[in-house]
Amino acid sequence: MRNISDTLFLEPEVLPNEIYKIIQDAEKFYVIDAALELDLFEKTKEPISAYELAKIIGTNPKLTEKMCNILVAIGLLKKKENLYENSNIANMYLIKDSPYSQKNLLKLERSIVKNNWTKLIDALRNGFIEVKKDYSLREFSLAMAESAIRGELQKIVKILSQIEDMKKAKKLLDLGGGHGLYSIALAKIFSNLHVYILDFPQVIELVTKEFVEKYANYERIHLISADFTKDDIGNDYDIVFASHCLYGKNNQLLDILKKIHKSLNINGILISNHWYLNSNQEGPIRALLWELNLACFNFKDFDLFTLKEFISYLSKAGFLVEDIIDISNIDSPSKLVIARRI
Ligand SMILES: C[S@@+](CC[C@H](N)C(=O)[O-])C[C@H]1O[C@@H](n2cnc3c(N)ncnc32)[C@H](O)[C@@H]1O
């Protein structure tokens, strides 16, 4: 330990940069949050002055200019001779009409930061708290589509299209398929494949039908309105694809895996895509944050599984794991697990 008077002349041995970067990122969050709330990026598709912009979005011109300068520093706007315009990244992700738009997913993430994380101390002290959501089921399902289309969907479709079982498959179930984009893409690649997208009736009505119509209205795309924990999920599948829908370590997971096992043809495969905790539970940080958020505010006693735990459930349900493919990126630490019905 340094002598107190030495510290007046000796700089600290480690810098506190990491800590202050997190605080600065939190401040930046509120700037982006306000810009999205005001629909700012829809108004900056063409160069515009801060004064004109403030008039359109109903804000104070001087403060709006200061905020726009921060958005330039963050890389979401460009500035040329006092006119502000969207950067490529803003045009790609922050406007409604872009096919890669993230507006619904960002609404959901912003709501989690503002409504959930601000109550963390209450939850830590008192246990699980039910939080009222300020996004609809349709917005949630659209957010899931946006989460897939920013890279994970394309990566998975490319991997699946090279799997021999996939090339021979006639019937695929997309369990908890929601938006259905995985099935739609696979039906486009494999012209003899029948795909069955299963989700809750409201999701099928509110979103899946619309996506099928928008991307590929083939007769080979079938929709099943069902609750996979209670209802029949069909049978004779060559492949069951289950992406981000089997979370939670409990007996229900084993029952669902057994149900999937039964619905597959002998030698059929389950391809699952989920997040896992590292075996020492020290990462990945995205999964740790998500697990704590869900356990505090969404599902009492929620625990995210490690890969080892998930594999043990699979083997109890009668599957043999053949391959594990890491497709993780900084915002989605996903792994594909390919398991055969034995
Ligand atoms: C996180 S989303 C994932 C959507 C899509 N599979 C993907 O990976 O992008 C989970 C989906 O599973 C559906 N789901 C969850 N539990 C379900 C159940 N018991 N029965 C039917 N669908 C369910 C949800 O409605 C939602 O559409």
Closest CA to 263 of 287, 285, 292, 242: 242
Q: Going by CA atoms, what residue is nearest to atom 27 of ligand 1?
A: 178
Which residues partner with 77 through β-bridges?
A: 86
Exposed/middle/buried for residue 142 (C-beta within 10 Å: 0-12, 13-18, 19+): buried
pTM: 0.96
Which tokens hold the place of 149? 């289309």
The secondary structure of 170-193, three-state, reads CEEEEECCCCCHHHHHHHHHCCCC
For ligand 1, is residue 199 a contact (CB within 6 Å)?
Answer: yes
For ligand 1, is residue 148 a contact (CB within 6 Å)?
Answer: yes
Which residues partner with 324 through β-bridges?
A: 337
The residue whose CB lies within 8 Å of the most ligand 1 atoms, and thus the one to mutate among 200, 223, 247, 327, is 200
C-alpha span between 294 and 252 (Å, rounded): 17
For ligand 1, is residue 184 a contact (CB within 6 Å)?
Answer: no
SS3 271: strand
Q: Where in the chain is the domain with CATH 3.40.50.150?
A: 137-341
Which tokens hold the place of 49? 């002055």
For ligand 1, is residue 231 a contact (CB within 6 Å)?
Answer: no
Pick the atom of ligand 1 nearest to 137's CA. 25
- Cα(199) to ligand 1 centroid in Å equals 6
Which tokens hold the place of 176? 């908890």
C-alpha span between 314 and 298 (Å, rounded): 25
CA angle 18–22–26, rounded 5-degree value: 165
For ligand 1, is residue 142 a contact (CB within 6 Å)?
Answer: no
C-alpha span between 187 and 177 (Å, rounded): 14
Instruction: Return the exposure string of 91-121: e unless at least 16 CB atoms fall within 10 Å of the residue's CB, then b.
Output: bebbbeeeeebbbbbbbbbbbbeeebeeeee
**Are 195 and 164 in contact, with CB atoms under 8 Å apart?**
no
C-alpha span between 278 and 262 (Å, rounded): 30
Domain spanning 1-94, CATH architecture: Orthogonal Bundle (1.10)
C-alpha span between 230 and 290 (Å, rounded): 26
Pick the atom of ligand 1 nearest to 148's CA. 9
For ligand 1, is residue 180 a contact (CB within 6 Å)?
Answer: no
For ligand 1, is residue 144 a contact (CB within 6 Å)?
Answer: yes
**Are 305 and 276 in contact, with CB atoms under 8 Å apart?**
yes
- Cα(137) to ligand 1 centroid in Å equals 11
Length, in residues, of the chain: 342
Closest CA to 243 of 189, 176, 306: 176
| pLDDT tens-digit readout, 72-83 | 999 999 999 999
- Cα(53) to ligand 1 centroid in Å equals 40
For ligand 1, is residue 243 a contact (CB within 6 Å)?
Answer: yes
* CATH number assigned to the domain with residue range 137-341, chosen from the 4 options 3.40.50.150, 3.40.50.300, 3.30.1330.60, 3.20.20.210: 3.40.50.150
**Are 176 and 245 in contact, with CB atoms under 8 Å apart?**
yes
Q: Which residue has the tokens 């109890």?
A: 316
Question: pLDDT value at position 188?
Answer: 98
Mean pLDDT, the chain, integer: 97
The residue whose CB lies within 8 Å of the most ligand 1 atoms, and thus the one to mutate among 104, 138, 141, 245, is 245
Q: Which residue has the tokens 């997190």?
A: 22
The residue whose CB lies within 8 Å of the most ligand 1 atoms, and thus the one to mutate among 147, 175, 199, is 199
Q: Going by CA atoms, what residue is nearest to atom 24 of ligand 1?
A: 176
Question: pLDDT value at position 248?
Answer: 81
Residues of the chain under the 70 pLDDT cut: none
Q: Going by CA atoms, what residue is nearest to atom 5 of ligand 1?
A: 177
Q: Where in the chain is the domain with CATH 1.10.10.10?
A: 1-94
Q: Going by CA atoms, what residue is nearest to atom 3 of ligand 1?
A: 244
C-alpha span between 203 and 121 (Å, rounded): 33
